[in-house]
Structure 1
Amino acid sequence: LQNGLCALLISDLNYLDGAPASSEEEEEDNDGGSEEGSDEYDDSGAEIEDGREDDDECDEGDESEDSDGDNEDFNDSDDSELEELAEKEETRKRGCSEKQVLSFLEFLTRCVSKYSSCLVVARPAWEGTARTNCSSSWADHPSCWYSVTSSACELLMSPWCFFVAVVFMGSLKYPDENGFDAFLKKHGGGDNASTDCERTVFQFDVQRKYFKEALDRWAQFFIHPLMIRDAIDREVEAVDSEYQLARPSDANRKEMLFGSLARPGHPMKKFFWGNADTLKHEPKLNNIDTYTRLREFWQRHYSAHYMTLVVQSKETLDTLEKWVTEIFSEIPNNGLPKPSFGHLTQPFDTPEFHKLYRVVPIRKVHSLTITWALPPQEQYYRVKPLHYISWLVGHEGKGSVLSFLRKKFWALALYGGNGETGFEQNSTYSIFSISVTLTDEGYKHFYEVWCCTKRACLKSTFIIFLLCRIWEEIQKIEANEFHYQEQTDPVDYVENLCENMQLFQKEDFLTGDQLLFEYKPEIIADALNQLSPQRANLVLLSAANEGQCHLKEKWFGTQYSMEDIDRYWSDLWDSDFELNQDLHLPEENKYIATDFALKVADCPETEYPVKILSTQQGCLWYRKDDKFKIPKGYVRFHLISPLIQQSAENIILFDTFVNILSHNLGEPAYEADVAQLEYKLVAGEYGLIIRVKGFNHKLPLLFQLIIDYLSDFSFTPAVFEMITEQLKKTYYNILIKPETLAKDVRLLILEHGRWSMIDKYQTLMKGLSIEALSAFVSAFKSQLFVEGLVQGNFTSREAKDFLNYVVQKLQFAPLAHPCPVQFRVVDLPNTHLLCKVKTLNKGDANSEVTVYYQVTGCRHCHFCCNFVLFQMHMEEPCFDFLRTKQTLGSELVDRKIEEFLSCFEEKIKDLTEEAFSTQVTALIKLKECEDSHLGEEVDRNWNEVVTQQYLFDRLAREIEALKSITQADLVNWFQAHRSNQRKVLSVHVIGYGKHEGDSEMTAVSGQNSSSGEIPHLVLLPPSSLMSDITSIKDIKAYTSTLNVLPYHKILK
């Protein structure tokens, strides 16, 4: 544009011959969406499932929210080292074949217009998607934020994070503080914003009909934001709350500690988060006007020529160009050159960086992270040297470093590479790190583990100069994935392209992050040569470090110590020691697909899965893909056993069994994972869930490998001890989070006969025997009922082979009695209950409030649709009321929730017919939109199978139910459950702090007590603010007096 903004426009190219789609088709596809989430499970391995959120849809246990019954909340996904490593590993799996580069037209045709109404994977209703990327340079923030003394510059170091929240609170043209969010929610859309070291990202999506107006409303925030003083003051409190929530995260704590090692004056040494002290109290003390500084910040950094914009819609390119030119040309250009930071390279070339840091974590974990700070590597994006090195260092198959460490029982997981976040890769440096999750024994030998990683680097050097086979194999694997990739969520797609426009040349906007264009071993070798012991930083996380860490990081309070790296091990790294014979190059990968032909159907095509096999031992549901036409398949099996829920010990034995099975598969299944075949083992409440997906050509090989290892399951005492110790840490890490503890307490009250996480942890701490596990596994495999679902590019005959292989290999007997999958909850009394407990983490000041409203009588889709419609109406005003306008303590929050619902009752009564109809239409369009990719359809169908409801046309039934719902129905439904007879359960988890009556000494001394025992729950009395409610003083005693509601399947 004339103001310097660079925009990329994407139209749904569903009429390549130049003829527009028919008006009938366009009307049909005008809006659309899907409420289903995608099935992106890239963390192959075992997963512990505990408790299902069955009350989110209907609190009688009638429906499940999760396609597997595996609840992600209890998997410690936020901070788990294993999860972090898996996520980072996935970010490195990029396409790498120049031969596979598609033309702009071909690429968009496949990724955008597979279905004319399907533009988003997770929520395909969004027919207009936009994203802008403002290149906001962190290195310049402090100086532009302040024109006062350097000490004052230290006070407000996070204006970009703060500004992101403030800038959206009204504009000159649209002054309503919450108007944009309300507009998007009303029309089935949403928005988000995020910050990184050098870039700030804004994005939104909305139904096509309202896309132009949304663009205009959105652009006004960059043209003339109001930034009201009162809103700024309130947002400080919200930012401070987010900072407090972030403090107990080991990942955040490590990042802040790492940044503190940068040389003085470098922006990496700054405080990235912002809190009440840095954004309010200290500026006030230093006579700094926050409002004025925000205005200056906006004028300096939100300039059009720093920005890139990507817009995707079903409108024509001509229409999009007209809109974008008309709307975004008004964004001001300050005429200042974009800051350059070439003079700020090598921020970690300091004596403090090249040390061993022992750190006390929040969680129970042993991990070793070796980090090198290299010169910026972004300029080598066509070579991607760190990606190539990470593929070799992080290999987990036979002959790998991880395989060697696992055989010595020193490590559970290993990741090597660069996460490509702004923190790890920017214009001043690039990080290469090797992170190893250690066992207890590995912690004792961490220096040996460090030296083992050198072998991986040496091996990588040999491969670079002596072998091209590995590179060609990587190329082939990732080229296959690139060529046959499924449709991308447009929100993610435009976000990715918008950042690409900041990083790559114009011709590489679409492919710069996916393809490896050039093989230049000298560039890769140059990066490898910098991975020397003299340049390394070692961070050793362990609760065992407590007592020897006397230093404390300023912002997150992380306890740590600093010492020189042992000279003996440093010299050993430098020496030419002989490579262990167990370490060798990866063998040729037999899982790489070569046949991509689409199968010819051998049975009539059906719209929904059909049961094609049924015996006393199991049944199989099947549907051949006739929509997406890709050479991929999805296979899911549920091995059901009544044995699991018979005792807390059985649940623990089952978790142990699944984790050992996953450990056993780690090495042999890694080649399949590298070849883009994914698997997951889930320890469900009723059985073992096996999920595999990928290219159908070699998918049966992976499935058979899993069943073979299940059939021939074995373990050594050393593996048993290693896995049980890790399981203790997993349970502990779940319990110390206030949100997961609150959920555990709530479900303990609601679910009859439930074994709580505390019960399981304490049972595990008492000890398990090898004999008990062996007996359990034998009993589990002896009697089963197996249900499966096969979808994709398979014939019905091939689908049957999956179930037949399970039955033939395991040789199990049918269950003596049926084991129905059902979830039942207690019938709460007609009153307000409160269960108030103390958090189990003495270093966490955060509290959690959950208010559960039990609604009985859910028997049909019409009833459930009221839930969803009510949620859509309430979501945005609830967020605005509780998060934006209220900053309160736990019991005040509970009262404010009630206050909000009372106000909302009046609001819903006053809804105009037009407003109600708009919301209903938006929800219908969400459900009407076709699936964006095969995984969405499989997720939805699998949910019907795993919950044994089999209502595969549920979406169609819900659409019909929504068409018949009136505003009076919704009001009556809401009032019926807001009467004096309502059933309410509040669960409060109270954090530690002086405001809760805890002494400062208690909070500090227990801050990192992750090695201690988990105590019994401490139930607290209610304060005077909630003296009128019924307090639960003994959970088991109280719930034993309650009746259990009958289980109902919602089948009509």
Structure 2
Amino acid sequence: MWNYFIFFSLIFLIKTQSYVIQNNKTDQILYKRDDKVKLISDKIKKPDTDPSSYKLIELTNRLRVLLISNPDTLRSGAALDVKVGHYSDPDGIPGVAHFCEHLLFMGTKKYPGEDDFSGYLSTHSGSYNAYTGTEDTNYFFSIPHNYFEKALDIFSQFFISPLISERSVEREARVVDLEHRKNLQSDEWRLFQLEKSISSPKTPYHKFGTGNYKTLVEDTRKKNINIASIVSKFFQEHYSSNLMKLVLFSSKTLDELEKYAATYFSDVPDKNLERPKFTEEPFGKDVIGNQYWYKPIADKMTMELVFPITSQIHLYKTNPTLYLSYFLQHESPGSILYFLKRQGWVTSLSVVHEYIVSNTDNFRIGISLTSQGLDNYEDIIGLLFKFLKMLKDEGPQKTYFDELIQIDEIFFRFQDLPQLTSYVSDLARNMQDLYLDDVDILRNTYVSEYNSTHITQLLDQLRDDNYYLFISTKDRPDEWDKREPWYDSEYKVESFSSTLLEKTKNYTTKYKLKLPEKNVFISEKFITKNVSTNKTTKPVLLYSDAKLRYWYKEDDTFSTPKSSVFISFKIPDYSSSPYETAHSSVYVNMLFDYIYSTHYNAVAAGYHIRLLSRSYGIFLSLYGFSDKILVLFDEVVKSMAKFSPSNTSFEISKQRLVDSYVTKEYSMPFTYVAGTFPQLHNPFLWPSSDILYALNLMTYNDIYHFHSRRFSSIFYEVLVVGVVSYQTPYLFELYFRDLSSKVQYPYQVLPPRSFVIEEGSNYIYELALPNPLETNSAILYSLQFGSSKDPRLVAILNVIYTLIRSQLFDQLRTKEQLGYAIRSMFSSGDALLSFFFIIQSQRDPYYLEHRINAFLYKFAVFIDHLTDEELKGYIDSLITLTLPNYKDIYEESSTYMYTILTGFYDFDFNSKMIAVFKELTKDDIRNFYYAHFYPSAANRRKLSIHLKSQTLETVSVRDLSPKRLQYYFKCNGLVLSLDEIYNLIEAIPTLAEFEKEIEKLLKEKYPDKDVSTVVAQAFEYLRKLYQKLKEDTIKDYDAVHFTDIAVFKNSLKLSPAPLPILDWSKYKSKVV
């Protein structure tokens, strides 16, 4: 009997336990309890500080899924990566893969609405995005937990049964076109496409991946190709579950996440597709050995050496590119960058290792040049090859490699959790790398095995006969004889000069190049405190006097060996004018350069050093391992005290800042207008053009005298969070004693106030976009409210922001096609709150202003019909977002420091806001909206910025009504379809050219009619009509226009000074 019992017990165990199937990579465990799931690994290596549980599974359709259960997170997220990108675009139709990405969001058989997914996420404080790369298309989103399962259901249908319908093609193709136009004046995009265009046409790298309206609609129509059918075919031929990787991240248990994966993604079809593989060499002899002069949009000088190398993807454990990058980017004395900066030739140097195709990578060395560096660019390259030769002569150094292994292991063990959507997106992409062991999929970089051969082989490929060169400058050459076809970039190609070839082989210099010293900042002790069940939620004030306030919070949340130290140096009159701002910025830039190079070993060992110039003074932050962070802090402050500016460092920092401000001047319009807004509200922020003017006038003598007085009077506000060896504030007094001696008066350390827009105001600030070639304009439409310390006000604005966000994108971008970049947001960083809309568009800002007004009128109806249950859903999502949920000590510290710098010191603000959320009613929201947002409200405080393109016409082609134009011609016996008119509008930038093309088209159709007269009369009438309509609209719109920021600011009052909400004694620790 016992034998039978044992026998059946064994049978039972066999039936209920998992069994193992061996393959050549991992042990796979097939669960009999659920034939939809196969366990690949539950032994994923994770950081010591990571509270998550991980499991890698595979569904029956061979879709691999990484499940992440994190008990501390308040949001869930997912990402799916498909192993296909624009390399697989059909020949002759650029942009199909990208267009497919867009169309998958436009409805599925189960959820046919175009905004079913975006609307659901917007309603519940979610976010989403996607990108199309060369060989990957990546989709991702995040949302509060309660709404995760439903979002997954909608999301999964993208890959099961997308509609890809004709109804979406026209509108979404225009969205793709707007996305492309947004990038036309971006030097990064222009250079990227230039390199693609000079590559071999036989390689997929040569392709134009974004696509535009012309490639997707106009050209396909001319060829009688149905683009929707092409995209459907692309989806069918390239989207298969065996080429997909999925990541699910949530506080849900692993079993719950496994169930979600099996339930919603098992029906993704497995078409048993092969991975695309591309092996054609992109860069042959016609590219290698050439220098490409590129004429940039922004007046910046850069140089990039590009070495095509054999694929390194399978060498991730020996990682020779990381080894070489470490030396090339090092800034300690003896390094190449240290010398180049002190020569005044470069402002920065970076190294990027980049996958190109299956058997080819690029090793890029990018250098930002000064004007003197441009004059000596051949010497820079010569010195670079001399440095590479030194590395070859010295041979691979195991000592340094061991340091890198040690640093990499420490980085991984104690890494901070990245931003959620970036994390899941990157993991889904990393899972596509078949060379990566399953247990290592969480590692971004990994170096564990020293292999001198791999290092030598890589160095052997960094030869002077195996690279090509990009030089970006407006100053040279005298003639630009080529244009890149997609972005119209001007460039010129030259072979390397004989002098350059000689310098790369035999460069001589007195400068002694050497390898860095042993890194003493690599941490050896990892000090942690246990996580507390009774966590503190704010720092305490340990010390306060006329020169210093010291705040401290011990880590009781993360049990990590890291700490942060934040210091604000509040300096009187620091930014009192554009000249003071320019001087301060150059000085801090020089100081940071000195600190960064002096303490580069600390940076290499994982410590973060930031030194920023702010309107109130200087901001210093240090973040890293607790055992040595105060040692680093001591050394940094000593460096600040003994720093003495040199003429060379002055020229480098001045050039860097000039480049920075020029870049701002040539930034995308929506970025530029967003940067302009704070200048209208903050009394110590100035227009970039004024600061640029001051920078160009500045001399070394100015900065030398500035240095002698700058630290004469400082108030220090210090915050330390973590576990440090010393908590005594007197130590900080000791640190700062060499920096300043004067005591400040209380009024000198108050945070900046904001200018108050009067009730009933309607201001329009008009300015021209500096970039003469940018065809887009932009508007920032803002509404100002009360104090940012009012939790009720902030809570109401949060609700309205969430409601508006759920409707704005669909109305203004998808339906009205106003532009690709459309944003709504509100700012609580100043003394007063502001809510604003930003649109970048080829339309006139006046038109955009009226479309925003129309939206605000229409949105009032949305609020009127909002049910209490719907409002509760929005508010519940906001409560989740408002709860403290820091991902690391740095984020926690940043939140506390932000609270300190507001001047209100209200560390309980979020708790107060949550209490308000719970009491808000629909009437509260509705009444506030009608009083402060509704365009005809009497007490609105509105200011908009109209940033106009220099190419904008008084009456533009986009002002015209295609239907009115069609009707006019029809009345004169001339028939044009709306498609023909729309296609010309998209293709033709100016009204005069549009008129000529209309005339040409009609003459082809009606050669026997007097077309010219009819067209001339039509456009004469339309110009006058639309110009009068604009003039009447502007006249009837009761707005005050201005163009001078200084005059405007001088006409306004300032808000009350921010003051602490409690007496200082209430903040102090009872222990002290």
Structure 1 regions of 5+ residues with no counterpart?
1-5, 9-101, 143-152, 1004-1020
Contact 1:551–1:561 under 8 Å retained in 2: yes
- Out of 539, 547, 550, the position equivalent to 2:470 is 539
Q: CA deviation at 1:1050?
A: 8.9
In 2 relative to 1, CA 215–1050 (structure 1 residues): closer, same or farther, beyond 3 Å?
Answer: farther
AA partner of residue 403 (structure 1): Y
Equivalent positions of 1:178-193 (< 5 A) are: 178-193=115-130
Range moving further from structure 2, 895-904 or 986-995: 986-995
- Out of 320, 323, 340, the position equivalent to 1:385 is 320
Q: Which residue of 2 aligns with 1:242?
A: 179
AA partner of residue 52 (structure 2): S
Deviations 1:44-66 (A, max 9, x none): xxxxxxxxxxxxxxxxxxxxxxx
Deviations 1:746-786 (A, max 9, x none): 44444457532222222333x12433323333322111111
In 2 relative to 1, CA 933–909 (structure 1 residues): closer, same or farther, beyond 3 Å?
Answer: same
In 2 relative to 1, CA 571–800 (structure 1 residues): closer, same or farther, beyond 3 Å?
Answer: same
Q: CA deviation at 1:359?
A: 1.2
Range moving further from structure 2, 330-339 or 992-1001: 992-1001
Q: Which residue of 2 aligns with 1:963?
A: 918
- Out of 759, 765, 790, the position equivalent to 1:860 is 790
Q: Which residue of 1 aligns with 2:366?
A: 435
In 2 relative to 1, CA 994–761 (structure 1 residues): closer, same or farther, beyond 3 Å?
Answer: closer
- Out of 205, 220, 234, the position equivalent to 2:157 is 220
Equivalent positions of 1:128-527 (< 5 A) are: 128-142=76-90, 153-154=91-92, 156-342=93-279, 344=280, 346-418=281-353, 420=354, 424-465=355-396, 467-504=397-434, 505-511=436-442, 513-527=444-458
Q: CA deviation at 1:169?
A: 0.8
AA partner of residue 716 (structure 2): V
Between the aligned partners of 2:530 and 2:88, the Cα distance in structure 1 is 60
Contact 1:358–1:541 under 8 Å retained in 2: yes
Q: CA deviation at 1:668?
A: 0.8
AA partner of residue 522 (structure 1): T
- Determine whether 1:896 maps to 2:835: no
AA partner of residue 334 (structure 2): G
- Determine whether 1:763 maps to 2:694: yes
Between the aligned partners of 1:858 and 1:532, the Cα distance in structure 2 is 58
AA partner of residue 1028 (structure 1): D
AA partner of residue 540 (structure 1): I
Between the aligned partners of 1:934 and 1:222, the Cα distance in structure 2 is 38
Structure 2 regions of 5+ residues with no counterpart?
1-22, 26-40, 55-66, 819-842, 958-987, 992-1028, 1063-1072
Q: Which residue of 1 aligns with 2:983?
A: none
Q: Which residue of 2 aligns with 1:87?
A: none
Between the aligned partners of 2:500 and 2:349, the Cα distance in structure 1 is 20
Percent identity (aligned):
24
- Out of 582, 594, 612, the position equivalent to 1:664 is 594
Q: Which residue of 1 aligns with 2:949?
A: 991
Between the aligned partners of 1:539 and 1:873, the Cα distance in structure 2 is 47
Q: Which residue of 2 aligns with 1:75?
A: none
Contact 2:766–2:1043 under 8 Å retained in 1: no
Q: Which residue of 2 aligns with 1:551?
A: 482
- Determine whether 1:1046 maps to 2:1056: yes
Equivalent positions of 1:42-191 (< 5 A) are: 104=43, 107=46, 110-113=49-52, 124-126=73-75, 128-142=76-90, 153-154=91-92, 156-191=93-128
AA partner of residue 118 (structure 2): D
Between the aligned partners of 1:319 and 1:709, the Cα distance in structure 2 is 54
Deviations 1:292-323 (A, max 9, x none): 11111111111111111122333333333333
Helix, strand or coil for the counterpart of 2:568?
strand
Q: CA deviation at 1:285?
A: 2.0
Contact 2:349–2:368 under 8 Å retained in 1: yes
Q: What count of residue pairs does the alignment treat as equivalent? A: 910
Deviations 1:701-723 (A, max 9, x none): 32222212221231122322332
Q: Compute the TM-score of the two structures, normalised by the length of structure 2.
A: 0.80
AA partner of residue 200 (structure 1): T
Contact 1:219–1:327 under 8 Å retained in 2: yes
Between the aligned partners of 1:233 and 1:310, the Cα distance in structure 2 is 32
Helix, strand or coil for the counterpart of 1:680?
strand
In 2 relative to 1, CA 282–798 (structure 1 residues): closer, same or farther, beyond 3 Å?
Answer: same
Equivalent positions of 1:901-916 (< 5 A) are: 901-916=856-871
- Determine whether 1:972 maps to 2:909: no
In 2 relative to 1, CA 580–107 (structure 1 residues): closer, same or farther, beyond 3 Å?
Answer: same
Between the aligned partners of 2:484 and 2:811, the Cα distance in structure 1 is 35
AA partner of residue 949 (structure 1): F
In 2 relative to 1, CA 947–866 (structure 1 residues): closer, same or farther, beyond 3 Å?
Answer: same
In 2 relative to 1, CA 573–822 (structure 1 residues): closer, same or farther, beyond 3 Å?
Answer: closer
Query: For the pair shown, which has the larger CA radius of gyration, 1 or 2?
Result: 2
Q: Compute the TM-score of the two structures, normalised by the length of structure 1.
A: 0.82
- Out of 1031, 1041, 1064, the position equivalent to 1:1032 is 1041
In 2 relative to 1, CA 591–916 (structure 1 residues): closer, same or farther, beyond 3 Å?
Answer: same
In 2 relative to 1, CA 620–605 (structure 1 residues): closer, same or farther, beyond 3 Å?
Answer: farther
Helix, strand or coil for the counterpart of 2:747?
coil
Between the aligned partners of 1:893 and 1:997, the Cα distance in structure 2 is 14
Equivalent positions of 1:931-970 (< 5 A) are: 931-970=886-925
Q: Which residue of 2 aligns with 1:74?
A: none
Between the aligned partners of 2:927 and 2:520, the Cα distance in structure 1 is 61
- Out of 707, 713, 733, the position equivalent to 1:804 is 733
Q: CA deviation at 1:475?
A: 1.3
Helix, strand or coil for the counterpart of 2:925?
helix
Between the aligned partners of 1:858 and 1:943, the Cα distance in structure 2 is 13
Contact 2:615–2:685 under 8 Å retained in 1: no
Between the aligned partners of 1:451 and 1:687, the Cα distance in structure 2 is 41
Q: Which residue of 1 aligns with 2:1069?
A: none
Q: CA deviation at 1:789?
A: 0.4
In 2 relative to 1, CA 726–121 (structure 1 residues): closer, same or farther, beyond 3 Å?
Answer: farther
Between the aligned partners of 1:729 and 1:928, the Cα distance in structure 2 is 40
Helix, strand or coil for the counterpart of 1:111?
coil
Q: CA deviation at 1:568?
A: 2.9
Contact 2:205–2:356 under 8 Å retained in 1: no
Between the aligned partners of 1:760 and 1:399, the Cα distance in structure 2 is 35
Between Structure 1 and Structure 2, the one with more strand by share is: 2
AA partner of residue 319 (structure 1): E
In 2 relative to 1, CA 341–537 (structure 1 residues): closer, same or farther, beyond 3 Å?
Answer: same
In 2 relative to 1, CA 523–994 (structure 1 residues): closer, same or farther, beyond 3 Å?
Answer: same
- Out of 544, 549, 554, the position equivalent to 1:619 is 549
Q: CA deviation at 1:674?
A: 0.3
Between the aligned partners of 1:927 and 1:901, the Cα distance in structure 2 is 26
Contact 1:114–1:487 under 8 Å retained in 2: no
Q: Which residue of 2 aligns with 1:649?
A: 579
Deviations 1:488-526 (A, max 9, x none): 444333323222221034434425543213222212221
Deviations 1:942-990 (A, max 9, x none): 0111222211121111111111111111111111112143222221111
Contact 1:633–1:793 under 8 Å retained in 2: yes
Helix, strand or coil for the counterpart of 2:267?
coil
Q: CA deviation at 1:582?
A: 1.7
Between the aligned partners of 1:858 and 1:690, the Cα distance in structure 2 is 25
Contact 2:204–2:278 under 8 Å retained in 1: no
Between the aligned partners of 1:537 and 1:106, the Cα distance in structure 2 is 40
Deviations 1:91-117 (A, max 9, x none): xxxxxxxxxxx98366278424399xx
In 2 relative to 1, CA 829–976 (structure 1 residues): closer, same or farther, beyond 3 Å?
Answer: closer
- Out of 455, 460, 471, the position equivalent to 1:529 is 460
In 2 relative to 1, CA 308–287 (structure 1 residues): closer, same or farther, beyond 3 Å?
Answer: same
